[in-house]
Structure 1
Amino acid sequence: MNGSARLSAGLKALPDKIDSFASTQAAWRFYANEAITLSGLQQPLTDAAHAGIAQHCSRYALCIHDWSRLHYRHENKTDTYAITHATDVGYDLQTSLIVSDQTGQPIAPVAQRLVSAEGSYATYGATTLAPQVQTHLDEVSDCIEHLAAQGFAKPLVHLIDREGDSIGHIRRWESAGCRWLVRVNDNPKVEHAGQELACKDVANTLSFNKTRQITYRGKVHWQWIAETAVTLTRAAKPSQKKGYKPKEPGAPVAARLIVSRIVSDEGEVLAQWLLMSNLPEVDAATLALWYYWRWQIESFFKLLKQAGHQLESWQQESALAISKRLLVSSMACVTVWEIAAAKTQEAAELREFLMKLSGRQVKRSKPITHPALLAGLWVWLSMLEVMEAYTPEELAALKATAMQFLGKDV
């Protein structure tokens, strides 16, 4: 009798005595209100990031940047666009998520940008509709500059997947003095030991150290780590989307190449990641672990799109309204992350209680999940609202009516 959340695209209404349509109308007015700005909705998330960094981070705060496409087929959304091809229709979401450098615990999203056919809406920079940024890395570079001015208690280390392997943008980050950790591709060449070699060829010359056991595709294997100093000297290749642009030479960039391999007991290399960073004082094994925690932003997208909020079923009719609701949903995620990370006995009891209320089935090895905590918290808030809105006599009468339909005696 548990209805599928995907079929309930609108905001849920608390079970008080207010008509459900009134809640829908109130939500519409809230998201349509011009006084409700993205920067204003972002502020509680930024405050949570400041508090979380001070509490959960040791030397650095990890800032993970990534993009996710939001697919919509709704005819009432007139500002969607074909992101890559004719059937890839929707919006493009860029998010920057802070996680702990000690545990990988997600703390809070500190910046978001939603790109539509008409332009983009961001929680930073322009307060109104801005022109579309030409490339993802231009977006994230602007975001990095914004975050540098926020005065966080710990320095940020910016983590980006292979899309961040752009020497032109790396030079921009270097000139801005930011700390970065990027996964790089196999073939771009670097200078190493007086030779110009592809990154994968440099990796094959290194000696590896057995570091830690990790789970890879459901099985436990050993992770092996190697590192070396390299220099990036190649010219940048600007985006050619708006016409031909010549290569742009630039200053050499000194960096560390960290190679992470997952190796079976038989010696077979099951996976390999080539990482590059300008952090001189953090050991290679820690940098590899930090990159592993980059997966937290994928879990955040899953919580928004599939396992919690069903983002791609929302019925708001514009990118601006979607952006506002997205920030409100992000606040719910931050609340759940704080409950999951709390170390007190009271928090542990609350987690156990919320898991029971959620009705979710979980693995023995993973008794707590963020989607289940989110679902359980909603049930608990609904229960509290019911107890405040209805008298015991009214609840008893409703119970008697329900039991008649269930075919049981009261």
Structure 2
Amino acid sequence: MERSTYSGYFGDKRLEHRGYMLRQRLFSSCTQSIQALSLNRAEQKAYYRFLHNSRTAESKLIAELMKRCSIQSKGRVVLSIQDTTEVNLSRHKGRLQACSGLGGIDDSKGIGFKLHPSLVVDAETCFPLGFSSIRMWGREQDKGNKTERRYMNLPIEEKESYKWIEASKQSQETLHQAKAVVIVQDREGDIFEQFLRIPDENTHLLIRSCFNRQTNDEEGKLWDQLSASEKLGEYQIKVDSDSHGGTPARQASLEVRSIKTNIRPPKEGKGKCVQVYAVEAMEASTENYQGIHWRLLTTWPVEDFDQARLIIEWYSWRWVIEELFRMLKKEGFNIEGSELETGWSIRKLTVMLLDTIMKLMQMHIAYSEPEEANIPDTDLVFSEDEQECLLALNKANEGKTQALKNPFQAGKLNHAVWIISRIGGWKGYRSQRKPGMTTMFKGLNKFYNIYDGWILQKDVGTR
């Protein structure tokens, strides 16, 4: 795995080293607070200067991330999973400098910025590989509402929704060495122009349908044709509970349908039609809650039940980008609590945190992989000294019975994650639910507190 050194990005080796050290501190401290992660006042001032320096531009930090992603994606079939969130900085409004990279958000009185990353994962294992695109912007606060701006009549390039097409184009460029690319988006990405402009022999779209579109068939609209089509099959999936939607944890039975059709452009059905495959996944026998009902549009060929299941599975992997946002905010690094004084510096810190969270996600996915899978080595995430400390901690966290022994091969990332999770409070039994991101987050924080003392003892012992 390509490591970040920022070599050649800032035109100053001191800035490159400082950026690398800040990135390491963000991971080891599990906090976004520069004051909390710095070892002393001099280091704290150095990191503040790095984030405020015009030479360490946001675009350069993003370019470095995208380059690493391009290298890791070479020769693979990958998914580029897109979504949008916002960083709400309204409670710091009186402290933040004006005209510093911030703007309007969904709350009309709020201030902050929008974030639209494209997280790339391996299409076979869901292992995170990097970011093919990252866009950040603040809305202009005096533009008026959509009615006043005649939003529906604006060209697509002048609409905020154009971010989906822009991110797809940039992902195409970043992932040009990949064997194949599937761009995965939620309903907001269901934009007809995207189906016209993005797909090529190497790039496919997989988007949840938002509109019951007209087709060039005489059998009715898209959703009606899909629901009326013959069921390809049915299969069971495990669904976790959703406290927001009020749905219980359950074993869900999904009915699968698929059709191949041509959708018409939205305005009066004139112009070029686009061929797509539509896949429906509908949960059977739901009573007191709203079950799963996905209608998915894709340019990836779907000819049978197994191919339709693959499309459904790929779409379900959107959980990784939702987890990314969760860890960026209150349940993880709490970027919205940053003490930095300019929007530009908070945006730079956000880019560096996305990279940090990706390492956490790599740990999480590596642990979830079956033992026969190609698990990355521990040095993907941890240094030599850190690995030595982890091995020492492994003995302390293993129990006397075989059930509480670390089941994984030493030197592999899942072996290290088992230790980190035990430190984070996980019991270690295979019958227990696998450790989640929050447990690993807590474990990492505790590990690096232990590691600091371990290094100190090691240094004293060698004098």
Match of 2:293 in 1: 272
SS at match of 1:260: strand
Shift of 1:357: 2.4
Shift of 1:248: 9.1
Please tell me the residue identity of whatever aligns with 2:282. Answer: R
Report the CA distance shift for 1:48/1:359 in structure 2 as closer, same or farther (over 3 A). Answer: farther
- Please say if residues 181 and 202 of structure 2, whose CA atoms lie closer than 8 Å, have aligned partners that are also in contact: no
Shift of 1:384: 2.6
Match of 1:351 in 2: 417
Report the CA distance shift for 1:248/1:189 in structure 2 as closer, same or farther (over 3 A). Answer: closer
Deviations 1:59-79 (A, max 9, x none): x20001110011112122335
Match of 2:133 in 1: 111
SS at match of 2:216: strand
- Please say if residues 339 and 351 of structure 1, whose CA atoms lie closer than 8 Å, have aligned partners that are also in contact: yes
Shift of 1:26: 2.1
Q: Are 1:213 and 2:280 counterparts?
A: no
Match of 1:287 in 2: 311
Report the CA distance shift for 1:11/1:361 in structure 2 as closer, same or farther (over 3 A). Answer: farther
Match of 2:389 in 1: none
Shift of 1:250: 2.8
Please tell me the residue identity of whatever aligns with 1:41. Answer: L
Report the CA distance shift for 1:337/1:317 in structure 2 as closer, same or farther (over 3 A). Answer: same
Deviations 1:94-121 (A, max 9, x none): 11111121132333222211112579xx
Give the Cα separation in 2 of the matches to 1:382 and 1:317: 28
Q: How does 1:73-88 map to 2 (within 5 A)?
A: 73=90, 74-75=92-93, 76-77=95-96, 78-79=98-99, 80-88=102-110
Q: How does 1:63-74 map to 2 (within 5 A)?
A: 63-73=80-90, 74=92
- Please say if residues 180 and 277 of structure 1, whose CA atoms lie closer than 8 Å, have aligned partners that are also in contact: yes
Report the CA distance shift for 1:389/1:85 in structure 2 as closer, same or farther (over 3 A). Answer: same
Q: Which runs of 5+ in 2 are unaligned?
A: 1-30, 142-156, 240-247, 367-374, 378-408
- Please say if residues 70 and 91 of structure 1, whose CA atoms lie closer than 8 Å, have aligned partners that are also in contact: yes
Q: Which runs of 5+ in 1 are unaligned?
A: 1-7, 120-132, 237-246, 395-410
Q: Are 1:180 and 2:205 counterparts?
A: yes
Shift of 1:316: 2.2
Q: Choose 26-35 or 178-187, whichever is displaced more.
A: 178-187
Please tell me the residue identity of whatever aligns with 2:121. Answer: V
Q: Please, which of 40, 45, 55 is the counterpart of residue 25 of structure 1? A: 45
Give the Cα separation in 2 of the matches to 1:103 and 1:366: 20
Match of 2:33 in 1: 10
TM-score (norm 2): 0.68
- Please say if residues 233 and 257 of structure 2, whose CA atoms lie closer than 8 Å, have aligned partners that are also in contact: no
- Please say if residues 258 and 302 of structure 2, whose CA atoms lie closer than 8 Å, have aligned partners that are also in contact: no
Q: Are 1:385 and 2:409 counterparts?
A: no
Give the Cα separation in 1 of the matches to 2:344 and 2:53: 11
Give the Cα separation in 1 of the matches to 2:352 and 2:346: 10
Report the CA distance shift for 1:71/1:361 in structure 2 as closer, same or farther (over 3 A). Answer: farther
Match of 2:60 in 1: 40
Q: Are 1:372 and 2:439 counterparts?
A: yes
- Please say if residues 191 and 233 of structure 1, whose CA atoms lie closer than 8 Å, have aligned partners that are also in contact: yes
Deviations 1:370-406 (A, max 9, x none): 3332332333234333343578989xxxxxxxxxxxx
SS at match of 1:98: strand
The count of residues paired between Structure 1 and Structure 2 equals 355
Shift of 1:221: 1.4
Shift of 1:303: 1.2
Q: Are 1:251 and 2:259 counterparts?
A: no
Give the Cα separation in 1 of the matches to 2:42 and 2:269: 57
Deviations 1:283-319 (A, max 9, x none): 1111111111122111111111133211111122333
SS at match of 1:110: strand
Match of 1:320 in 2: 344
Q: How does 1:109-188 map to 2 (within 5 A)?
A: 109-117=131-139, 134-150=158-174, 151-174=176-199, 178-185=203-210, 187-188=212-213
Please tell me the residue identity of whatever aligns with 2:131. Answer: P
SS at match of 2:55: coil
Match of 2:16 in 1: none
Please tell me the residue identity of whatever aligns with 1:86. Answer: S
- Please say if residues 225 and 259 of structure 1, whose CA atoms lie closer than 8 Å, have aligned partners that are also in contact: yes
SS at match of 2:198: helix
Report the CA distance shift for 1:269/1:322 in structure 2 as closer, same or farther (over 3 A). Answer: closer
Q: Please, which of 320, 328, 338 is the counterpart of residue 304 of structure 1? A: 328
- Please say if residues 141 and 173 of structure 1, whose CA atoms lie closer than 8 Å, have aligned partners that are also in contact: yes
Q: Percent identity?
A: 19
Report the CA distance shift for 1:134/1:361 in structure 2 as closer, same or farther (over 3 A). Answer: farther
Give the Cα separation in 2 of the matches to 1:159 and 1:9: 29
SS at match of 2:228: coil
Report the CA distance shift for 1:390/1:31 in structure 2 as closer, same or farther (over 3 A). Answer: farther
Q: Choose 135-144 or 292-301, whichever is displaced more.
A: 135-144
Report the CA distance shift for 1:36/1:265 in structure 2 as closer, same or farther (over 3 A). Answer: closer
Give the Cα separation in 1 of the matches to 2:459 and 2:161: 58
Hey, which bits of structure 1, 4+ residues long, moved more than 6 A?
Answer: 360-363, 390-394
Give the Cα separation in 2 of the matches to 1:12 and 1:208: 58
Report the CA distance shift for 1:71/1:177 in structure 2 as closer, same or farther (over 3 A). Answer: same
Q: C-alpha root-mean-square deviation of aligned residues, in Å? A: 3.2
Q: Are 1:99 and 2:99 counterparts?
A: no
